[in-house]
Amino acid sequence: MGPKSIIGLAGALIVVLVVTSSVYIIPETHRGVLLRFGELIETNVGPGIHFKVPVIDQVRQFDVRVLTMDLPSRQYLTVEKKPLDVDSYIAWQISDVDTFYRATGGNEFSAQSLLSSRIDNGLRNEFGVRTMHEVVTGQRDELMHTLRDQVNETSISEFGIRVLDIRVKAIELPKQVSQNVYRRMSTEREKLAQEFRSRGKEAAEGIRADADRQKTVILAEAFAKSEKTRGEGDGTAAKIYADAYSKDPDFYSFYRSLSAYQKAFANKDDVMVIDSDSDFLKFLKSPRGASN
């Protein structure tokens, strides 16, 4: 290869390098700024192919899609001075590349730091005028919308950033407070359980007393009924004996004496001392029971 060919090839290579270093492409999802010797000369460069002066000009590109950022967990006080640990995140987007670059130098971390500081102050103020119940339940959405609008009032004009959404992921009591709340809840539940036990014991005593009363009444009624039945039976038996006696007094007397003998002489070891002239022995002396 001759000297002319080498020179031609070198020239062509230089031309290619100059052309490639003069052309830059901005993607659809990005916007750019053009700097010359570090000085901003063109902002909000749209997507497409663009040209710049090689070496002298520098291009910075920024993602204009919706970005999210988790905020560090912070502790805020409600209007009742109750502490709450809050985890939140934001969704944001670069709305003005020129303002964004001038405010942050094109550094996303600086932008996130600025937003985090504004939102931290906003959350502190919003929590400070609400009760715990309002923050946890009914007014959380209202709080987020209000805070978003407040932050946007300054972030768009000062930083070129639009905050699309602010959301609270979790609201929790601090660990020490949670333990105190748990102990208080446990005490309240134990107190309630003791009250139920007392009521149950009182009801059991009432049931037991009523059962004892019913038992006494039933036994008394049964005893009265049995005594009445026994009395009626004795009366019936006496009537039967009386009828039998009136039909044959001698036989009846003989039968009763035999029954008395059977009971009196049932035990061979018993000893009976009795007068021989006693009527008890009259049937032993004579079958007809006649006295001598």
Which pLDDT does position 188 carry in this prediction? 85
Residues with Cβ < 8 Å from 170, sequence gap 6 or more?
Answer: 85, 86, 87
Average pLDDT of the residues of the chain: 82
Mean pLDDT of 243-249: 73
| Burial of 110 (C-beta count, 10 Å sphere; 0-12/13-18/19+) | middle
Q: Spell out the long-range contacts of 101-107 with Cβ–Cβ below 8 A and sequence spacing 24 or more.
A: 101/33, 101/40, 101/43, 101/60, 101/62, 101/160, 102/40, 102/160, 103/158, 103/159, 103/160, 104/159, 106/33, 106/60, 106/62
Examine the pLDDT at 289 and tell me if it is beyond 60. no
Phi, psi angle pair for 35, to nearest 5°: -115, 140
Examine the pLDDT at 99 and tell me if it is beyond 70. yes
Residues with Cβ < 8 Å from 30, sequence gap 6 or more?
Answer: 47, 61, 62, 63, 64
DSSP states of 81-114 as a string? --EEEEEEEEEEEES-HHHHHHHHTT-HHHHHHH
Q: Positive or negative CA dihedral for 111, 117, 118, 122? A: positive
Q: Which tens digits make up the pLDDT trace of 100-113?
A: 998 888 888 888 88
Which pLDDT does position 292 carry in this prediction? 46
Which pLDDT does position 91 carry in this prediction? 93
Q: How confident is the model at residue 94 (pLDDT cuts 50, 70, 90)?
A: very high
Q: What is the pTM of this model?
A: 0.55
CA angle, corner 182, sides to 176 and 186, nearest 5? 150
Examine the pLDDT at 1 and tell me if it is beyond 70. no
Which pLDDT does position 282 carry in this prediction? 65
Distance between CA atoms of 174 and 125, rounded to whole angstroms? 19
Mean pLDDT of 237-260: 75
**124 or 181, which is more confident:** 124
Distance between CA atoms of 196 and 287, rounded to whole angstroms? 82
Distance between CA atoms of 155 and 122, rounded to whole angstroms? 13
Highest mean pLDDT range out of 8-12, 193-197, 251-255?
193-197
Mean pLDDT of 13-41: 81
Bridge partners, 31 (sequence order): 62
Examine the pLDDT at 17 and tell me if it is beyond 90. no
CA dihedral 17→19→21→24, nearest 10 degrees, is -150
DSSP states of 223-291 as a string? HHHHHHHHHHHHHHHHHHHHHHHHH-HHHHHHHHHHHHHHHHTSSTT------TT-GGGHHHH-TT---
**193 or 11, which is more confident:** 193
